[in-house]
């Protein structure tokens, strides 16, 4: 017998508040959620409730609406420490309630920009997201303000990182949601840079401690490096665009960890730099040579299949073969192996081949 939840239909559309809580529950990583765990999700789904005296009543009504729609099953145990009583736990159905989502989508008077939602294959939570956008387009459609992504996300959903997650879903794409439709953009993260000389090279360093050690050494020892930047891990994939704000930079060398992320980050930044006409992002050869020679291997890196290991290692050029073997062997080498003392002892070697 099929699960009866898959055949539930709605007598009317869910309220925007209930649909937003449904979206939060769809992202929950377990089949059950306690009342204590539910409160923060409700606060994100309905930020205005935090200051209302009816907050508990609002949650009770929202839970009832989701239960009626087949989105949740309430427990037999209730928290009766206040009025109204609330279920101590909710259980989420194992099967998506697609019929309910379709009925909900068809019941919404969509704006022309979102007309596709009426026939799209969506979850209840996604319909709730689109309902929020629909209301915003209706009420703010003539506004010309453009806000950075997280500011717009906070305005729309009461949670600044909601759009970060949604951009990677099927809700975004051609003829669906777009950043221009929401009058928003990804703000360019800053690239923290220090001037250390007059040379044409910008040296980008993945981690903060190694950045500090190299900054102090390059300040004390003149080299071809004119600027040193802290890549801040994966942030460099976006902050690479800040290179065009630096005067006198004609060459960019990168130094990071020898692991999957440590090689993916500069390769991704290099692709962006090529598209934007910036200087190529290349390996800091002398520093990587030191890392291979003196590096302390650590476990914790999942072994990569040979094709993926070769793809990531290719960016390292002359060190690609050694990096490929490392990536395939389930170990990594942190760049902190090239510490301040080693940099002092070998400065003439690594600085001559940046």
pLDDT at 95: 57
pLDDT at res. 144: 80
Task: List pLDDT tens digits, range 31-71.
Answer: 999 999 999 999 888 887 877 889 999 999 999 989 887 78
Residue 154: what are its φ and ψ, rounded to 5°?
-65, -40
Higher pLDDT, 6 or 295: 295
Q: Which tokens is 343 given?
A: 């940099």
Q: What is the pLDDT of residue 340?
A: 96
- Distance, in Å, from the CA atom of 45 to the CA atom of 66, rounded to the nearest integer, reads 13
Q: What is the share, in percent, of the chain residues with pLDDT greater than 90?
A: 63
* The most confident of 26-30, 163-167, 346-350, by mean pLDDT: 346-350
Question: Residue 26's pLDDT is what?
Answer: 82
Instruction: State how far the Cα of 51 lies from the Cα of 47, in Å rounded to an integer.
Output: 8
Task: Round the average pLDDT of the chain to a whole number and report it.
Answer: 89
Name the residue with higher pLDDT: 2 or 134: 134
Q: What is the pLDDT of residue 106?
A: 86
Whether residue 2 is predicted with pLDDT greater than 50 in this model: the reply is: no
pLDDT per position as a tens digit, 12-37: 567 778 888 888 888 788 999 999 99
Q: Span 123-149, mean pLDDT?
A: 87
Q: Which range has the worst mean pLDDT, 92-101, 211-220, 307-316?
A: 92-101
- Of the ranges 141-145, 231-235, 268-272, 316-320, which one carries the lowest mean pLDDT score? 141-145
Task: Please tell me the predicted confidence (pLDDT) of residue 323.
Answer: 95
The per-residue pLDDT for 114 is: 96
Mean local confidence (pLDDT), 219-224: 93
Q: What is the average per-residue pLDDT within 310-319?
A: 94
pTM: 0.62
Q: Please provide the size of the chain in residues.
A: 354
Residues 251-259 have a mean pLDDT of 97
Distance CA 317, CA 288 (A): 11
Instruction: Tell me the mean pLDDT in the region 175-204.
Output: 93
Strand segments, DSSP code E, in the chain are: 32-34, 73-74, 78-79, 86-87, 89-91, 147-148, 184-185, 193-195, 201-205, 225-230, 251-255, 281-283
Cα separation of 242 and 237, whole Å?
A: 11
- The domains of the chain, with CATH numbers, are 4-91 (no CATH), 108-185 (no CATH), 193-351 (3.40.1360.10)
Least confident span in 58-67, 193-202, 209-218, 298-307: 298-307
Give percent of the chain with pLDDT exceeding 70. Answer: 94
Angle between the 306-313 and 320-328 helix axes, to the nearest 10 degrees?
Answer: 140
Q: What is the pLDDT at residue 8?
A: 44
pLDDT at 7 over 60: no
pLDDT at 13: 62
What DSSP letter does each residue of 98-122 carry, written as one string? Answer: HHHHHHHHHTS---GGGGGGGTS--
Report the C-alpha gap between 270 and 276 in whole angstroms: 10
9-13 LR contacts (CB < 8 Å, sep 24+)? 9/99, 9/100, 9/103, 10/69, 10/100, 10/103, 10/104, 10/107, 12/107, 13/104, 13/107, 13/108
């Amino acid at each position: 017998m099929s699960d009866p939840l898959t055949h539930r239909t709605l007598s009317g559309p869910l309220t925007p508040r209930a649909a937003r809580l449904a979206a939060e529950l769809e992202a929950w990583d377990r089949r059950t959620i306690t009342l204590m765990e539910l409160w923060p999700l409700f606060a994100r789904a309905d930020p205005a409730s935090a200051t209302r005296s009816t907050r508990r009543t609002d949650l009770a009504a929202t839970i009832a609406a989701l239960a009626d729609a087949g989105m949740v099953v309430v427990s037999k145990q209730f928290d009766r420490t206040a009025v109204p009583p609330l279920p101590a736990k909710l259980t989420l159905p194992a099967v998506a309630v697609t019929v309910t989502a379709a009925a909900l989508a068809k019941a919404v008077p969509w704006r022309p920009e979102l007309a596709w939602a009426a026939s799209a294959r969506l979850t209840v939570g996604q319909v709730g997201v689109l309902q929020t956008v629909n209301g915003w387009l209706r009420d703010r459609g003539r506004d010309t303000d453009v806000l950075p992504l997280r500011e717009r996300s906070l305005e729309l959903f009461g949670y600044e990182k909601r759009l970060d997650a949604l951009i990677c879903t099927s809700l975004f794409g051609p003829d669906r949601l777009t950043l221009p439709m929401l009058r928003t953009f990804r703000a360019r993260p800053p690239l923290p840079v220090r001037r250390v000389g007059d040379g044409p090279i910008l040296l980008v360093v993945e981690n903060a401690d190694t950045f500090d050690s190299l900054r102090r050494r390059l300040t004390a020892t003149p080299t071809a490096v004119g600027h040193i930047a802290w890549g801040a891990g994966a942030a460099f994939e976006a902050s690479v665009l800040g290179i065009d704000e630096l005067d006198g930079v004609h060459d960019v060398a990168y130094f990071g960890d020898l692991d999957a992320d440590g090689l993916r980050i500069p390769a991704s930044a290099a692709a962006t730099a090529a598209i934007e006409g910036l200087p190529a992002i290349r390996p800091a050869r002398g520093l990587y040579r030191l890392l291979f020679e003196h590096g302390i291997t650590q476990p914790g890196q999942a072994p990569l299949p040979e094709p993926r290991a070769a793809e990531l290692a290719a960016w390292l050029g002359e060190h690609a073969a050694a990096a490929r073997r490392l990536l395939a062997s389930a170990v990594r080498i942190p760049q902190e192996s090239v510490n301040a003392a080693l940099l002092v002892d070998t400065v003439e070697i690594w600085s001559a081949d940046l």
